[in-house]
Amino acid sequence: VFAAVYSAAAGVQQQLPHLFAGAWAFVYSIFGMSYIFSICLSPGSAQMGAVALTFVSYCVSGIYTPNLPELAGYLGGRGWMVPALSSVRWFWGYLITSEVHYLTDLSRRYGANLLSMKGYDLNYVDCDWSGLDDEGLGIISLREAWERRRGCVCNALDMLLLGLIFRFLAIVCLSLHVHAKTSGWARFYGQHERGAWKLMGRLFALIVGCFLATLLIVEVWTFGIIRVDVPELLRHLRVGGGR
């Protein structure tokens, strides 16, 4: 429904099947995170969490300020992980990349600077990643691409992978939740509202939360690898090992 209405009302030039594929992948990715809220929280809290997540996803998508290149440089060069988790960012980049192919020469001329500022250089809308591995590491990540304003999204695969990451975390949360409800030690911790056992229960919950956060960071770091040049990577490792 969204794809049909957007195609008719927004005056887009791209084909409806291509737009539908992106809209479906976007819904698939955003619902993956909603599953985690529905498992860990009450129905009302899960609904509010999904709304808050959508708002945060929009804020870190780079549509307004800060833009995508600025976000990629935050946190000592690790800020790219934040918009990488934004389904809104991927869908917006997907729409821009698809639509610029139908722009007139005049539209390209006057819109190039604005899109470049947002992180979408019109000279690389075909997802050309050449020239990004200046250090010769053999690995090109989203950080290098976004800092060089190459934020194009040529297909819906990234949104599908993001949805798989969220669903994997949802499965882990569901397994831990079921195990906590059925195991004797979890019920034992839950019966104590005071004293050391309550502190132990809170400490265990903190450890589980840290584990899930670490797992998410590892997944996002792996997700952020665009291309791996195996010969160049092996050559770099041999040189580094020789030193």
The tally of domains found in the chain comes to 2
Give me the phi and psi of 140, to 5 degrees please.
-115, 125
pLDDT at position 6 is 62
Whether residues 90 and 127 share a domain: the answer is yes
Contact 32, 165 (CB under 8 A): yes
Q: What is the pLDDT along the chain (243 residues), one digit of tens a residue?
A: 566 666 656 666 777 788 888 889 998 998 888 888 888 888 888 889 888 988 999 999 988 888 999 999 888 888 999 999 999 999 999 988 888 888 888 888 888 898 899 999 888 888 888 878 767 677 888 988 999 999 999 889 999 999 999 999 999 888 887 877 776 555 555 555 665 666 776 777 788 888 888 988 888 998 888 887 767 666 766 655 555
- Same domain? 128 vs 225: no
In this predicted structure, what is the pLDDT of residue 9? 63
C-alpha distances in Å from residue 31, one per residue of 11, 61, 224: 27, 17, 21
Distance CA 69, CA 74 (A): 9
**Angle separating helix axes 16-40 and 2-9, nearest 10 degrees:** 130
Domain that holds residue 184: 168-240
Whether 124 and 83 map to the same domain: the answer is yes
- State the DSSP H helix or E strand holding residue 140, giving kind and residue range, or none if neither: strand 139-141
Long-range contacts of 38-44 (CB under 8 A, 24+ apart): 39/170, 39/173, 39/174, 39/177, 40/173, 40/177
Please tell me the predicted confidence (pLDDT) of residue 65.
83
SS3 127: coil
Classify residue 180 as exposed, middle or buried by CB count within 10 Å of its CB (0-12, 13-18, 19+). middle
138 lies in some domain? yes
Tell me, yes or no, whether 178 and 62 share the same domain.
no
In this structure, are 208 and 125 located in the same domain? no
Q: What pLDDT score was predicted for residue 82?
A: 92
Claim to verify: residue 58 and residue 136 sit in the same structural domain: yes
Is residue 115 located within the same domain as residue 202? no
Residue 163 located in a structural domain: no
Q: What is the pTM (predicted TM-score) of this model? A: 0.84
Omega cis (within 30) before 66: yes
What is the distance between the alpha carbons of residues 83 and 213, in angstroms, rounded to a whole number?
A: 16
Residue pair 97/126 in contact by the 8 Å Cβ criterion: no
